[in-house]
Structure 1
Amino acid sequence: MAPSVAQLESATADPIQVAKDALKNQGDVKAVEATEPKDEVDDKGPSYPFYFPHFDLEEKFPKTELFDHTDPGSRADPKKPHLLTPNTKVSNISPYLGTEVRGVQISELTKEGLDELALYVAERKVVVFRDQDFKDIGPERQIEIAKHFGPIHRHPTSGNVKGFPEFHVVYRDAKNDRFREYAGANKANHTLWHSDVSYELQPPGTTFFFILDQPEVGGGDTLFLSQVEAYNRLSPEFQKRLEGLRALHTAVPQAEFSRKRNGPVRREPIETEHPIVRVHPVTGEKALYINLGFTKSIVGFRQEESDYLLKFLFDHISKGSDFQIRARYEPGTVVVWDNRVTAHSAIPDFSTTFRRHAVRLTPQAEVPTGKV
Structure 2
Amino acid sequence: MPSTTVTGTEQATPAATVLKLRPTSENGTENGAQQEEPYRYAHLVPHFSEDRYPPLVPFDHVDPGFRALRHPNPRSFLDNATDVVEITPYLGTEVHGVQLTSLDSDGRDQLALEVARRGLIVFRDQHDFIDRGPEYYREWGRHFGRLHIHPTSGHPAGYPEIHLVYRDANSSFNFEISDSITSTYWHTDVSYELQPPGLTTFFLLAQPTTGGDTLFTSQVRTLKKLSPPFIEFLKGLKAIHSGMEQANFSKSGKRGATVRRDPVEHVHPLVRRHPVTGEEALYVNRQFTRRIVGLKKEESETILKFLYDHIDKGGDNQARVKWSPGTVVLWDNRVTAHSAIVDYGESKERRHGARITPQAERPIPANPGLDLGDGKPDPRL
Relative to the length of structure 2, the TM-score reads 0.87
Task: Give the residue type in structure 2 aligned to 1:92.
Answer: E
Contact 2:213 2:341 in 1 (8 A): yes
Distance 1:275 1:39, change over 3 A: farther
Task: Give the residue type in structure 2 aligned to 1:59.
Answer: D
Question: In the alignment, what sits opposite 2:155?
Answer: 160
In 1, the alpha carbon distance for the partners of 2:72 and 2:275 equals: 15
Contact 1:183 1:191 in 2 (8 A): no
SS at match of 1:183: coil
Distance 1:287 1:210, change over 3 A: same
Kindly state the Cα deviation for residue 45 of structure 1 after the two structures are TM-superposed.
4.9
In 2, the alpha carbon distance for the partners of 1:321 and 1:171 equals: 27
In 1, the alpha carbon distance for the partners of 2:39 and 2:314 equals: 36
Structure 1: runs of 5+ lacking an equivalent: 1-15
SS at match of 2:211: coil
SS at match of 2:307: helix
Question: In the alignment, what sits opposite 2:259?
Answer: 265
Question: In the alignment, what sits opposite 2:16?
Answer: 31
Question: In the alignment, what sits opposite 1:369?
Answer: 364
1:329 pairs with 309, 323, 326, which one?
Answer: 323
Kindly state the Cα deviation for residue 71 of structure 1 after the two structures are TM-superposed.
0.5
Question: In the alignment, what sits opposite 1:249?
Answer: 241
In 2, the alpha carbon distance for the partners of 1:147 and 1:306 equals: 37
SS at match of 1:318: helix
Structure 2: runs of 5+ lacking an equivalent: 1-5, 369-381
The number of equivalent residue pairs is 348
Distance 1:191 1:81, change over 3 A: closer
Kindly state the Cα deviation for residue 82 of structure 1 after the two structures are TM-superposed.
4.0
- Show the 5 A alignment for 1:183-198: 183-198=176-191
Contact 2:80 2:98 in 1 (8 A): no
SS at match of 2:166: strand
Kindly state the Cα deviation for residue 244 of structure 1 after the two structures are TM-superposed.
2.0
Instruction: Deviation per CA, 1:44-98: give whole Å up to 9, x if none.
Output: 4533111110112x21111100000110001103733541114342101101101
Contact 2:115 2:199 in 1 (8 A): yes
In 1, the alpha carbon distance for the partners of 2:63 and 2:23 equals: 41
In 1, the alpha carbon distance for the partners of 2:157 and 2:172 equals: 20
- Show the 5 A alignment for 1:116-127: 116-127=110-121
Contact 1:146 1:152 in 2 (8 A): yes
Kindly state the Cα deviation for residue 140 of structure 1 after the two structures are TM-superposed.
1.2
Contact 1:36 1:52 in 2 (8 A): no
- Show the 5 A alignment for 1:302-321: 302-321=296-315
2:218 pairs with 214, 217, 226, which one?
Answer: 226
In 1, the alpha carbon distance for the partners of 2:198 and 2:72 equals: 19
In 1, the alpha carbon distance for the partners of 2:58 and 2:76 equals: 32
Contact 1:78 1:116 in 2 (8 A): no
Question: In the alignment, what sits opposite 1:49?
Answer: 42
- Where has structure 1 moved over 6 Å in runs of 4 or more? none
In 1, the alpha carbon distance for the partners of 2:66 and 2:291 equals: 32
Kindly state the Cα deviation for residue 205 of structure 1 after the two structures are TM-superposed.
0.3
Shifted more, 82-91 versus 346-355: the winner is 82-91
Instruction: Deviation per CA, 1:121-177: give whole Å up to 9, x if none.
Output: 001101000000211112111111111000110000011111100011111111123
